[in-house]
Amino acid sequence: MVETIEFDLIICGSGLAGLRAAIEAARKNSKIKIGIVSKVQVMRSHSVSAEGGTAAVLFEDEGDTIESHIYDTVKGSDFLADQDVAKVLCEEMPTQVRQLEHWGMPWSRRNDGRIDQRNFGGYSFPRATYASDKVGFFEMQTLYDTCQKFENIEYLNEWFATSIVHDGKQFMGITAIEMSSGNFYQIKGKALIIATGGAGRLYSFSTYALSSTPDGLDMAYRAGMALKDMEFVQFHPTGILPSGILITEGARGEGGYLLNNKGERFMKKYAASKMELAPRDIVSRAIITEINEGNGFKHETGVDCMKLDLRHIGDEKIKEKLGGIREISIKFSGIDPAKEILDIRPVCHYMMGGIHTNIDGATELQGVWAAGEAACNSVHGANRLGANSTSECIVWGKITGSLAVDYIEKHTNSNQWPHHLVSLEEKRIYDGIFRGNGDANPYEIKQELTDILTEKAYVFRNEKDLVEGLKRVRQLKEQTWKHVDDKAKEYNTNFSNVMELDSMFRVAEIVLVGAINRKESRGSHARTDYPKRDDANFLHHTLAYYDPNEPIMKTHPVTITKYQPVERKY
């Protein structure tokens, strides 16, 4: 008999979006039972790694405006953002920054005591509200502390959610494995918020935590919800070598230079007005173009790279404003950025795509919302501006938490619990994976899969590479990797790793199919064989629906309210 737990609201994921949703729901109704289900401990959520800032217009008295933030976001998205959604983000954020401050967020300050903001790529004004270079860690700490005020929030730490249970029309619950015992549970609920973060571990050179695999996306996909715009993967210009750990955009916001092997600040050729603070897609393409033209450096590992120079910023300012990356540089590259220049290259950093939602974060299944990087409400379009992601987590955490409570208060579910679906899921993961057999090593397969994406669907793409990548992914998928050699029940990381790999295959396929179909260059998706943006044929979102053979691809219109697409120049 499968053990059962019941909540009113289930939140999958314990990062910024998940915790903000829990607080909003608990504030609104202290009687409902809220369960936060996370495959890691709360403060291990990848949100703690956010470094540079959270975007908001705080000082309209200094010339900045909400409208300017909206336009910068839309232009940065290469006009694929839904403009009504961008408006919600930019209008809501100033209040949220002050709300976080009220809850104890230690924002960095100006000399006059006001909250400080730094320059970030693609913005017309300094808008990245920061806390040294550890903004995600401090935001998480603030939200986690705030959650402690509410007795109706319960944590299921280190639980691996495996499927969404529904009756074809509405949400009923999830299935999950308690990793500490290895026991399989059905968790009944009236509403679900998916806040499981991004899928960046599909790439081997990545800024993401190892836990950032697409289990949440895949769970929604298998339950019939579409994944949207998955071909748009953001490569952050400055991943440190050899680890790929992020060097925040704040390093350039504080005045850092990008240099080629001639000692030139080469960004003047690509975005003369913004230089190092052009949007991320433009800077990443510039770096790879310079490397391809022979203007790069060779890292000791043999990888081509560029240099990031912070020496002129000075030791004192680096320690005060970029202390975290100074520590990372010394620890992982053996370099003190106040004395030497850093080796960097573009690294997988963010997924613009995710679970298809509307402006409110509602998915296509009644009773299910998605928030944060796991969701695609189309606020970022084809390219996200830095510092807008933590903002998105906070805004849609709040919105979805509130709407889920409204739904729970009105909702009655008289339908029979679908035991057969739970049995099918149990069979899929235990007979299909845990007790599977084969001689292919799942860890080697995972490495090969992530290497294929890094190689074939990187900053620049073309038909030949993408088609070959898809073919190789499908061949790999057919191998006998679905087996778990460690038969322990408790904390079986071998089992969870193979389950993650199972999800990775389905989502990797969508990234590649979407990229093959989009025969244009827009935002982060740069095709050397189709170098121009093609609004006549591709000014639309991509939707992928589940089919056991291959994803069913559809399109979805872009909401344009005010700004007609124009050529993007900086």
CB 299 within 8 A of CB 344: no
Question: Does 414 score more than 80 pLDDT?
Answer: no
List b or e across 168-186, with b for residues whose CB sees 16 or more CB atoms inside 10 angstroms.
Answer: eebbbbbbbbbbeeeebbb
Give pLDDT, residue 411.
85
Coil, helix or strand at residue 196: coil
Coil, helix or strand at residue 211: coil
**Packing angle between helix 388-410 and helix 16-28, nearest 10 degrees?**
40
Backbone φ and ψ for 356, nearest 5 degrees, come out as -65, 120
Coil, helix or strand at residue 367: coil
CB 225 within 8 A of CB 363: yes
**71 burial via Cβ count (<10 Å: 0-12, 13-18, 19+):** middle
**Packing angle between helix 16-28 and helix 135-147, nearest 10 degrees?**
30
Give pLDDT, residue 200.
95
**Average of per-residue pLDDT across 228-257:** 93
Give pLDDT, residue 250.
86
* CA distance linking residue 48 with residue 125, whole number of Å: 26
Give pLDDT, residue 38.
97
* CA distance linking residue 72 with residue 547, whole number of Å: 37
| pLDDT per residue as tens digits for the range 190-225 | 999 999 999 999 999 999 999 999 999 999 999 999
CB 355 within 8 A of CB 377: no
| pLDDT per residue as tens digits for the range 376-409 | 999 999 999 999 999 999 999 999 999 999 999 9
pTM of the model: 0.96
**Average of per-residue pLDDT across 525-550:** 97
* CA distance linking residue 348 with residue 459, whole number of Å: 9
**Average of per-residue pLDDT across 253-272:** 94
Give pLDDT, residue 365.
97
Coil, helix or strand at residue 162: strand
Question: Does 321 score more than 90 pLDDT?
Answer: no
* CA distance linking residue 36 with residue 25, whole number of Å: 12
Give pLDDT, residue 354.
98
**Packing angle between helix 463-477 and helix 493-517, nearest 10 degrees?**
150
List strands edge to edge, sheet with 3-6: 3-6, 183-188, 171-178, 159-166
- The residues annotated as belonging to the active site are 236, 252
| pLDDT per residue as tens digits for the range 21-37 | 999 999 999 999 999 99
CATH number of 235-348: 3.90.700.10
Alpha carbons within 13 angstroms on the beta-carbon side of residue 237 total: 37
User: pLDDT-based confidence at 1, cuts 50/70/90?
Assistant: confident
Nearest to 286 by CA among 52, 295, 298: 295
List b or e across 529-539, with b for residues whose CB sees 16 or more CB atoms inside 10 angstroms.
Answer: ebeebebeebb
**Domain locations in the chain?**
235-348
CB 535 within 8 A of CB 565: yes
Q: What tokens appear for 121 in the block?
A: 């790529």
Q: Which residues pair with 483 in a beta bridge?
A: none
